[in-house]
Amino acid sequence: DTGVSQDPRHKITKRGQNVTFRCDPISEHNRLYWYRQTLGQGPEFLTYFQNEAQLEKSRLLSDRFSAERPKGSFSTLEIQRTEQGDSAMYLCASTIGGGRVETQYFGPGTRLLVL
Amino acid sequence: SQQGEEDPQALSIQEGENATMNCSYKTSINNLQWYRQNSGRGLVHLILIRSNEREKHSGRLRVTLDTSKKSSSLLITASRAADTASYFCATVSPSTGANSKLTFGKGITLSVRP
């Protein structure tokens, strides 16, 4: 299967610890998105890459958050000094880009619980 | 911030019945998309409708778009227990430019009773 994959699927951490999530997009997709979803809400946009360039960051992305896509393939999202409010599902999506209308393909998500 | 609001928030129907879900949004759009999410899982794309389209069909799904009312509806015909999930509408705004980020509503929880 060549869908979007995310690792880990679940992460439990203590407040103050750092965590890193990985997303592997569909191989030919040059655009990659990170979203965050809290319980009972729809996903909210965090950041967007076109190839290796991070082109937009939401104001939801505080300075404790950093995302990279070093070779334009997989991406990582790191949260430093986690807080209980960071508990959420972190979703990655990819799309091929370049066209006027694009479907985003989502991974299964990483569920983070900060104790 | 959430762009769309789905209505109703929860819907329970019997297998075989039709399910109609509505979405309203606030700003102009390039397109509107509907996604399904099974409990605790990722999102699955269902259907996309462009701002210059009024209706689209895909299998048992029918989506309509009324840009004058800034609203859309998703109809699932002949529902099945496997349709039980949360459904989200998401919009792409012209202001996003090349970043076609999605702005989601809060979702509708659909339960289909066998």
Q: What is the DSSP letter of B111?
A: E
The residue of chain A nearest to residue B10, with distances taken between CA atoms, is A40
Our CA angle for A36, A2, B50, nearest 5°, is: 60
A106·B88 Cβ contact <8 A: no
The count of CB pairs under 8 A between chains A and B is 68
| Locus of tokens 């227990």 | B81
Residue B8 banded pLDDT, cuts 50, 70, 90? confident
Distance CA A65, CA B37 (A): 26
Residues of B in contact with A6 (CB under 8 A): 42
Token pair of B84 as six digits:
């039980």
d(CA B40, CA A107) in angstroms, rounded, equals: 12
Mean pLDDT of chain A: 92
Q: Are B2 and B102 in contact (CB under 8 A)?
A: no
Indicate the residue of B30, B101, B105 with minimum beta-carbon distance to A45: B101
Q: Does B107 touch chain A (CB under 8 A)?
A: yes
Q: Which residues of B59-83 are buried (b: 16+ CB within 10 A; e: fewer)?
A: eeebbebeeeebbbbbebeebeeeb
CB B3 within 8 A of CB B25: yes
Residue A21, Cβ neighbours under 10 Å: how many?
A: 21
pLDDT value at A2 more than 70: yes
Q: What is the pLDDT of residues B9-66, one digit of tens each?
A: 899 999 999 999 999 999 899 899 999 999 878 899 999 999 999 999 999 999 999 9
Average pLDDT score over residue span A3-24: 97
How distant is the Cα of A54 from the closest Cα of chain B, in angstroms? Answer: 11
pLDDT of the residue at B103: 92
Read off φ and ψ for residue B31, nearest 5 degrees: -155, 165
State the amino acid at position B59 in one-letter form.
Answer: G
Q: Chain B residues with CB inside 8 Å of A46's CB?
A: none
pLDDT score at A49: 94
**Contact by Cβ (8 Å): B99, B34:** no
Q: Contact, B81 vs B112, CB < 8 A?
A: yes
Tell me how far apart the alpha carbons of residues B99 and B112 are, in angstroms, rounded to a whole number: 36
Q: Cβ separation of B42 and A43 shorter than 8 Å?
A: no
How far is the alpha carbon of A40 from chain B, nearest alpha carbon, in Å? Answer: 7
pLDDT at A100: 56
Reference A103, options B20, B52, B32; nearest CA is: B32
- Nearest-by-CA chain A residue for B46: A103
A96 confidence band (pLDDT: 50, 70, 90): confident
Confidence band (pLDDT; 50, 70, 90) for B71? Answer: very high
Q: Give which of A33, A36, A106, A113 to mutate to test B binding, by max B Cβ within 10 Å.
A: A106
